[in-house]
Amino acid sequence: MTVRVPLLIDGQMVQSQSDKFIPVTDPATQNVIAEVPCATEAEVDQAIDSAKKAFETWKETPVGERARLMLRYQALLKEHHDEIATLLSSETGKTFEDAKGDVWRGIEVVEHACNIASLSMGETVENVARKIDCYSITQPLGVCVGITPFNFPAMIPLWMFPMAIACGNTFVLKPSEQDPLTPMRLAELFIEAGAPAGLLQVVHGTKEVVDQLLTHKDTPAISFVGSVAVGEHIYRTGTEHLKRVQAFAGAKNHMVIMPDASKNQVINNLVGASVGAGGQRCMAISVALFVGSAKEWIPELREAMKKVRPGAWNDPEAGYGPLINPAARQRVLNFIQQGKDSGANCLLDGTDCQVEGFPDGNWVGPTLFSGVTTDMSIYQEEIFGPVLCAIELDSLEDAIELINANPYGNGTSIFTSSGAVARKYQHEIKVGQVGINVPVPVPLPMFSFTGWRKSFYGDQHAYGKQAVKFYTETKTVTARWFEEDIDTGVNTTIQLK
C-alpha cells in the first residue's frame, strides 16, 4: 500500500481525513512513492488554533532556551544529514551531491538561528530628555505561515521556521505537494530535538489550503517562495488581508562575460550554474552575455556542456537529475521548440535525451542557444530547465542596460579580471545578489537573501538580520523614573526638566 504522508498537528503526526490525495512520484521512473493529502478546512483551522495556543507559552520562553532548541536541532540535522539527502534525492531526483548541498544550506540557517539572542537585541539611548531613557525591544508576532516550492525541499523550509520560531513565534508550514517527504522528516527531527507540541505544524495541499492560510484572521505573517504568478497572488491576497508578506518569486539570471576574464573559469562555472540541478534553481544562470571577443568562447562552452549528462540520483557520473514532473519537462521542450522557431541558433539540443535504464524519466539534456534576442520567449520567460541563452554584445554598458531592462532581479554575476569593471557593475546593476567571478551568489545566512524587483515582493528578506525584523514587531519604550520615589530617608526632590 502507498505511504500516506501525515499532517503534523499539535505535536502529533496524524492522518488527514481528506478524500483528496496527490501522488508523489520519483521523477526518474514515475513510480508513486507516497500520497499527500489536501488537508481539510477543519484540519487547517486546527493547526492554526494549536499554533496560536502554543504561542502563548512559547513567546514567554527565555531566549536561551529557544536558542538551545535550535542547537539540538542543528546537531540532529547534521547527524541525519545523509539520510535526509537520500530521501530528498528519492523524491526530487536531485543527484546525491546536490541533495546534500540542499540540506547543508538549510543547516546553516539553523546555526544562524542559534544566535537569536544577539540578533534580537534592541537599541537604547540614555537621556533622550533629562533623566528619560528610550529603548527598543523586539517581540514575536504570533502564528507565522510558510509556503514552499519543490526545488529546495530542505533548504527553503529551513530558511523559514527556525528563524520564525527562534524569534518566539509558532509556525504553520505548507510544503510543496511535489516533495513533502523531506519537509516531514525535518519536522520529525524538530520534535525529536525537543520542540514543544504546537510550535511547528505541517499541513499539505495546494491553492485551497494556501488561500485559507493567507486569509485566516490568526496568521499575521506569510513567507512564500515559488513562481512569480503564485507569488503575486500571495502578496496581493496577504497584504489585502493586512498581513506582513515576503514573497520570493521567479528569476531570469544573467552572467556577464568580459573578454579579460579567465576563459577556463568562465566555462567551468557557467556550465555548473546553467545546467546544474537541471536548471531548477532560482539562482541558475539562464542568460550568458558575451561582451566583445568573449563570444569566441561559445564553441568551447558548447563542448563542455555536451559532456554533462543527466542521470539517476545515485549515479556518480550524473551531472544532474530529471526535471520534477512530466509537465515541467514538456514545458521546457516547448520553450526549446519556440527558441528554434523564433530564429535562435540551437547549438546544443537536449530534446531527445535518454538515460539508460530510466525510459520514463523526465530527462532534458543540456541545451544552448546563441543569437538570442530580448523579444524571444526563451529570453523573456523563466524556463526552469537546463537551457542557456547566449547573447553577444559590444560593451559592458550594453550588458548593464539589457539586464536592468529585464523585470527580474534575483541574481547576476560578472566574470572579469578588472576591479574597475566589477565595481561599476556591482554599483549600476539593478539586481539584488551580485557575484564577482562567482556564478551563483547565494548569500550565507549572516547576510540576507536579497532578490529584487519581480523576483521579490515585500521588504524584509529571508534569514540574516532581516528575518528577525520580518518575524518580530519592534516596541519602543520611553521611560522616566522619579527620584523622589527612592526611599533614602532623605528628601531628594529633584525636578525633571
CB of 201 to ligand NAD, least distance (A): 15
Name the maximum alpha-carbon separation found in the chain: 93
Position 251 contacts ligand NAD (CB under 6 A): yes
Position 313 contacts ligand NAD (CB under 6 A): no
Query: Which string of x and - marks every residue 433-472 that binds ligand NAD (by CB under 6 A)?
Result: ------------------x---x-----------------
- Selected binder of ligand NAD within 105, 233, 454, 469 (CB under 6 A): 233
Q: Which residues between 343 and 382 bind ligand NAD (CB under 6 A)?
A: 382
Residue 58 or 161 with smaller CB distance to ligand NAD:
161
CB of 228 to ligand NAD, least distance (A): 6
CA separation, residue 429 to residues 88, 433, 454 (Å): 35, 10, 15
Position 279 contacts ligand NAD (CB under 6 A): no
Q: Which residues between 120 and 159 bind ligand NAD (CB under 6 A)?
A: 147-152
**Is 39 within 8 Å of 369 (Cβ atoms)?**
no
Position 323 contacts ligand NAD (CB under 6 A): no
Q: Please state whether beta strands 244-248 and 456-457 pair in parallel, antiparallel, or not at all (unpaired).
A: antiparallel
Distance CA(250)–CA(463), nearest Å, equals: 18
CA separation, residue 373 to residues 288, 386, 408 (Å): 12, 19, 17
Distance CA(362)–CA(323), nearest Å, equals: 5
In 3-53 the beta strands, taken as DSSP E runs, fall at: 7-9, 12-14, 21-25, 32-37
DSSP 376: S
CB of 209 to ligand NAD, least distance (A): 8
Residue 178 or 370 with smaller CB distance to ligand NAD:
178
Residue 410 or 466 with smaller CB distance to ligand NAD:
410
Helix ranges (H only) for 114-215 are 116-119, 155-166, 181-192, 207-215
- Selected binder of ligand NAD within 86, 138, 206, 342 (CB under 6 A): 206
Strand partners for 71:
none
Distance CA(71)–CA(297), nearest Å, equals: 48
Position 226 contacts ligand NAD (CB under 6 A): yes
Residue 248 or 290 with smaller CB distance to ligand NAD:
248
Position 87 contacts ligand NAD (CB under 6 A): no
Q: Which residues between 173 and 202 bind ligand NAD (CB under 6 A)?
A: 174, 176-177
Position 248 contacts ligand NAD (CB under 6 A): yes
At residue 283's C-alpha, the angle toward residues 182 and 346, to 5°, is: 110
CB of 419 to ligand NAD, least distance (A): 29
Residue 175 or 220 with smaller CB distance to ligand NAD:
175
CB of 445 to ligand NAD, least distance (A): 14
Position 207 contacts ligand NAD (CB under 6 A): yes
CB of 303 to ligand NAD, least distance (A): 28
Strand partners for 173:
146, 202
Position 20 contacts ligand NAD (CB under 6 A): no
- The C-alpha R_g of the chain, in whole angstroms, comes to 25
399 CA to centre of own chain: 27
Position 410 contacts ligand NAD (CB under 6 A): yes
**Is 245 within 8 Å of 257 (Cβ atoms)?**
no
Binding residues with ligand NAD: total (CB under 6 A): 27
The interface region with ligand NAD, picked from 50-58, 96-104, 246-254, 335-343 by CB under 6 A, is 246-254
The interface region with ligand NAD, picked from 33-41, 242-250, 263-271, 440-448 by CB under 6 A, is 242-250
Residue 152 or 290 with smaller CB distance to ligand NAD:
152
Sign of CA dihedral 274, 277, 279, 282: negative
Crossing angle of helices 96-113 and 81-92, in 10° steps, is 130
Position 227 contacts ligand NAD (CB under 6 A): yes
Crossing angle of helices 155-166 and 63-79, in 10° steps, is 160
First to last CA, the chain: 78
Residues belonging to the active site: 282
Residue 235, C-alpha cell as written in the block: 502578496
Residue 192, C-alpha cell as written in the block: 525529536
DSSP 230: H
CB of 237 to ligand NAD, least distance (A): 9
Residue 208, C-alpha cell as written in the block: 485551497
CB of 70 to ligand NAD, least distance (A): 22
Closest CA to 228 of 251, 262, 202: 251
CB of 312 to ligand NAD, least distance (A): 22
The interface region with ligand NAD, picked from 14-22, 116-124, 205-213, 489-497 by CB under 6 A, is 205-213
**Which residue's Cβ has the minimum distance to ligand NAD?**
226
Give 319's Cβ-side CA count (13 Å radius): 21
In the complex, which residues of this chain contact ligand NAD (CB under 6 A)?
147-152, 174, 176-177, 206-207, 210, 225-227, 230, 233, 248-251, 282, 382, 384, 410, 451, 455
